[in-house]
Structure 1
Amino acid sequence: MKEKFRKMMQGRYGMDALSQFLMVVGMVIMILASIVNSSILSFIGYAAVIFVYVRVFSKNYHKCYAQNQKYLLLKNRVRGYFWKKKSIMNQRKTHRIYSCPSCKQNVRVPKGRGKVEIRCPKCSTKFVKKA
């Protein structure tokens, strides 16, 4: 049985990060549809799961790979945005974060120093801010 499955999956794309995400989303939508008793949500959930199976058994490797790369790029952008916001919130008590007026580079300055002249490390522009 294992050998038959292995032969069948040979040359197919298989499971990737996008497929896993869509499978979880589809299952959550189907559970939500059963709670709310909505046929539209149920249809969307089943469509997501069917799309996952089509991707997993697809032989069009390059198309599935490109879709997964786009998903990973979007996921990393969203994660980076929230990681940056979390980092700023953690440093809020000890530092002030200013952005350079010319190049928009973020510059971190310790709090409690009064008026300071800040030099941007990227473009060397000097500007005065109160820390």
Structure 2
Amino acid sequence: MNRFRQFMSGRYGFDQFSQGLVILSLVISLIGTLTRSNILITVSYIPFIYAIYRILSKDINKRMKENYQYTMFINTVKGKFLKGKRNVTGTKTHKYYTCPKCKTTIRVPRGKGKICITCPKCRTEFIKRT
């Protein structure tokens, strides 16, 4: 175990981006196996090899920047997915509108008829039917 610790000292290690690359590699490999496509199986090695390169890399600053960009991308995708999910699941009791000025999402209770909605962010007022 000490030899492994000595070997990995000064190296970047495993992070979210490396984990994503390994999962991507496994998914491509699985699809290639199910479709019996040798090309996909061969292509699945590329993200896996890059993940190993990142794990063993000694350029820590560059790997941290890559991981930061990856996590920011994933967070925006997750945010959009969760926003869409919230809009779908909350439709029985509330309705969602976007402010025409600042594009903020505003939640309004359903069944109140025509109401004047005031944006909490920019104080713009607009009338909508709930």
The corresponding residue for 2:60 is 61
The corresponding residue for 1:125 is 124
Rounded Cα–Cα distance in structure 2 between residues aligned with 1:107 and 1:33: 44
1:106-121 aligned at under 5 Å gives the runs: 106-121=105-120
The corresponding residue for 1:25 is 24
The corresponding residue for 2:82 is 83
Cα distance per residue 1:80-128 (max 9 Å; x no partner):
1111111111210111211122222222211111111111111111111
Displacement over 4 Å in runs of 4+: none
The corresponding residue for 1:95 is 94
Rounded Cα–Cα distance in structure 2 between residues aligned with 1:118 and 1:34: 54
CA RMSD of aligned residues (A): 1.2
Cα distance per residue 1:55-86 (max 9 Å; x no partner):
11110101111111110000000001111111
Rounded Cα–Cα distance in structure 2 between residues aligned with 1:73 and 1:121: 27
The normalised TM-score by structure 2 is 0.93
Give the drift of 1:31.
2.8
Percent of pairs identical after alignment? Answer: 40
Rounded Cα–Cα distance in structure 1 between residues aligned with 2:96 and 2:30: 44
Q: Letter of the aligned partner of 1:105 in structure 2?
A: T
More deviation, 68-77/102-111? 102-111
Cα distance per residue 1:3-37 (max 9 Å; x no partner):
11110000000110111111111122223223323
The corresponding residue for 1:12 is 11
Gaps of 5+ in 1: none
